């Protein structure tokens, strides 16, 4: 009888246990299916990961803390406090960038600084019924970071620099301290030529020089804060002010900032710098430096951190100090950023250029292009600063285009393939005009110096469509080469229909023209077809 009871009891529990197990797993499944939906978090620019103890060669015991700097700045400001609430003053009077300490002594000490001060403050505020932060371990040391770091790198461009020049009333020494500090005669050179900050301040602290990041935060923030305190207009003092993508995009941009005056040449003779008599080398390039200053936002775009000439580091045989990059590659590589070729190649992707250039093979320099830069036989030293003849006599000659009436047809009827649709009346003159004079507010070839330099003749322009036509010849009909598609003997050549459509439609697409929506935009259907 007893055994019967045991059995009945068991019979009830097992299905229950099984049911419970299944419910549990289904629950898990549901949590998983719906749990991983990421919130639309744009990320924050003010996140500081508190893992500085790693520098003390000590692994963190818990996950590093994500610290929201701006949130804390705002709270302190609202309480009428200032930065010294969290940052101590160094002997120099500057605020330490570390939290509540001047230096890291050891792991335990640093940890103690954070724990007592953070939790202490949070707890005080909680006790006072104020908005506060976490006081338990796991709420700060979160294994899954709460926010995504969206901090943008920060640097001056010409426009921002110009605004600071105006704001400081041309007092370069307010920021470029070496001018201020250097009093001796020998360093007169340095005094006249403030260099880029990154010339000395590297990515990480060196023995005597703080990192770019640390010095910039001192220099910029101190100044901004002082101006703030004086009630004057100043720059941002919150993290997001400089490092948030949206804020950066909203900055006032001076489209034509004044030229930076640091004694740079207007034109530079670019050569390997090696004078070997009798050796045949590439002819040097007369580089219009002044003209190119306007094409970049910063000097750094070409000059890395410092302002020396390229061949100082990039030698013909690729020395270590030039990161193994040869002089030739420093100018001509398609793979490296900031080379001449790469910048020029990139400009072909502008809509007003891409119509013709997109179908052409990428990353290929036609032989004829070498002499465009390496064409002159100029010798000698760079032109002196502000030379009167600046560009007129020395720079590379640019082409001016002219198509006199009658040299090109007004319209061309393309109807050799008429079948389902009627032929298309191609407005030849209108297309040429758009290329030359621009369209939709985009500049034409004639207005672009780069284009004017590299398109050497009128015929160069024609070759956009009439490719392979010898210079100075009347273009032959497309049917001369293009006929039936998929010729086994010439795999890459499109058939006639493909050639027309690829050329016209491709160009319209690449130039950003949306006036081709369907077949009937070019072709009229046959009268017979309704």
In the complex, the smallest distance separating the C-beta of residue 497 from another protein, rounded to whole angstroms, is 6
Q: Are 150 and 248 in contact (CB under 8 A)?
A: no
C-alpha 433/C-alpha 439 separation (Å) is: 9
Work out how close the CB of 354 gets to another protein at its nearest, in angstroms, rounded to a whole number.
Answer: 10
In which element (H, E) is residue 221 found? helix 212-229
Q: Closest approach of Cβ 488 to another protein, in Å?
A: 7
Q: Which is nearer to another protein, 88 or 505 (CB)?
A: 505
Residue 376 · residue 283 · CB < 8 Å:
yes
Q: Longest C-alpha distance within the chain, in Å?
A: 119
Residues binding another protein (CB under 8 A):
7, 10-11, 14-15, 18, 21-22, 25-26, 28-30, 32-33, 349, 358, 361-364, 484-488, 491-492, 494-495, 497-498, 501-502, 505-506, 509, 518-519
What Cα–Cα distance (Å) separates residue 329 from each residue in 51, 235, 281, 450?
A: 40, 40, 16, 21
CB of 336 to another protein, least distance (A): 15
127 versus 488: smaller Cβ distance to another protein: 488
Q: Which residue has the tokens 């001016």?
A: 400
Separation CA 203–CA 153 (nearest Å): 12
Instruction: For the CB of residue 489, give the shortest distance to another protein in the complex, in Å.
Output: 9
Residue 38: CB atoms within 10 A of its CB come to 6
> How far, in Å, CA of 426 to CA of 477, rounded?
14
The least CB distance from residue 296 to another protein, in Å, is 21
Residue nearer to another protein on the CB measure, 474 or 491 = 491
* 32 vs 129 by CB, closer to another protein: 32
Cβ atoms of residues 53 and 107 within 8 Å: yes
For the CB of residue 32, give the shortest distance to another protein in the complex, in Å. Answer: 5
d(CA 37, CA 34): 6
Rounded-to-integer distance, Cα 83 and Cα 72, Å: 10
Q: Beta partners for 50? A: 65
Does residue 422 contact residue 524 with C-beta atoms inside 8 Å?
Answer: yes
Show the beta-strand stretches assigned E in 323-447. Answer: 412-414, 421-426
Q: Which is nearer to another protein, 106 or 334 (CB)?
A: 334
- Is residue 162 within 8 A of residue 258, CB to CB? The reply is yes
Shorter beta-carbon distance to another protein: residue 207 or 335: 335
User: Least CB distance from residue 307 to another protein, whole Å?
Assistant: 32
Whichever of 26 and 253 has its CB closer to another protein, that residue is 26
Question: Which CB atom, from 361 or from 474, has the smaller least distance to another protein?
Answer: 361
């Amino acid at each position: 009888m007893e055994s019967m009871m045991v059995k009945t009891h068991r019979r009830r529990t097992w299905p229950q246990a099984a049911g419970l197990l299944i419910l549990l797993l289904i629950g898990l499944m549901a949590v998983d299916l719906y749990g991983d939906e990421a919130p639309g978090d744009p990320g924050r620019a003010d996140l500081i990961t508190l893992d500085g103890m790693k520098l003390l060669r000590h692994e963190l015991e818990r996950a590093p803390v994500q610290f929201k700097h701006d949130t804390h700045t705002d709270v302190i400001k609202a309480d009428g406090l200032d930065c010294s609430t969290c940052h101590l003053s160094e002997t120099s009077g500057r605020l330490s960038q570390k939290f509540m300490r001047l230096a890291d002594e050891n792991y335990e000490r640093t940890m103690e600084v954070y724990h007592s001060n953070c939790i202490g403050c949070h707890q005080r505020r909680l006790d006072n019924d104020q908005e506060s932060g976490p006081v338990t371990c796991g709420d700060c040391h979160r294994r899954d970071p709460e926010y995504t770091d969206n901090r943008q790198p920060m640097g001056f461009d010409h426009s921002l620099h110009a605004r600071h020049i105006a704001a400081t009333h041309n007092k370069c020494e307010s920021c470029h301290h070496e001018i201020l500090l250097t009093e001796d005669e020998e360093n007169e050179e340095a005094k006249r030529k403030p260099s880029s900050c990154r010339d000395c301040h590297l990515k990480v602290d060196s023995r005597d020089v703080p990192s770019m990041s640390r010095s910039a935060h001192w220099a910029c923030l101190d100044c901004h804060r002082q101006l703030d305190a004086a009630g004057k207009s100043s720059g941002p003092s919150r993290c997001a002010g400089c490092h948030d993508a949206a804020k950066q995009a909203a900055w006032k941009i001076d489209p034509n900032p004044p030229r930076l005056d640091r004694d740079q040449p207007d034109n530079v003779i670019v050569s390997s710098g090696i004078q070997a008599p009798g050796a045949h080398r590439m002819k040097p390039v007369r580089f219009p430096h002044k003209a190119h200053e306007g094409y970049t936002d910063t000097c750094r775009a070409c000059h890395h951190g410092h302002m020396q000439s390229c061949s100082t580091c990039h030698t013909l045989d690729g020395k270590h100090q030039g990161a193994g990059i040869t002089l030739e590659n420093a100018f001509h590589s398609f793979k490296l950023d900031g080379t001449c070729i790469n910048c020029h190649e990139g400009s072909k992707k502008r809509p007003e250029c891409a119509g013709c250039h997109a179908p052409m093979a990428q990353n290929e320099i036609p032989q004829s292009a070498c002499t465009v830069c390496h064409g002159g036989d100029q010798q000698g030293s760079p032109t002196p600063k502000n030379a009167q003849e600046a560009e007129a006599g020395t720079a590379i000659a640019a082409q001016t285009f002219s198509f006199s009436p009658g040299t090109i047809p007004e319209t061309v009827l393309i109807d050799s393939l008429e079948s389902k649709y009627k032929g298309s009346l191609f407005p030849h003159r209108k297309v040429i005009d758009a290329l030359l004079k621009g369209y939709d507010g985009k500049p034409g070839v004639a207005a672009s110096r780069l284009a004017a330099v590299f398109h050497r003749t009128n015929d160069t322009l024609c070759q956009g469509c009439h490719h392979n036509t010898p210079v100075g010849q009347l273009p032959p009909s497309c049917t001369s080469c293009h006929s039936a598609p998929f010729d086994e003997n010439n795999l890459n050549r499109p058939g006639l229909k493909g050639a027309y459509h690829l050329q016209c439609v491709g160009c319209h697409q690449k130039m950003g023209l949306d006036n081709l929506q369907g077949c009937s935009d070019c072709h009229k259907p046959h009268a017979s077809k309704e």
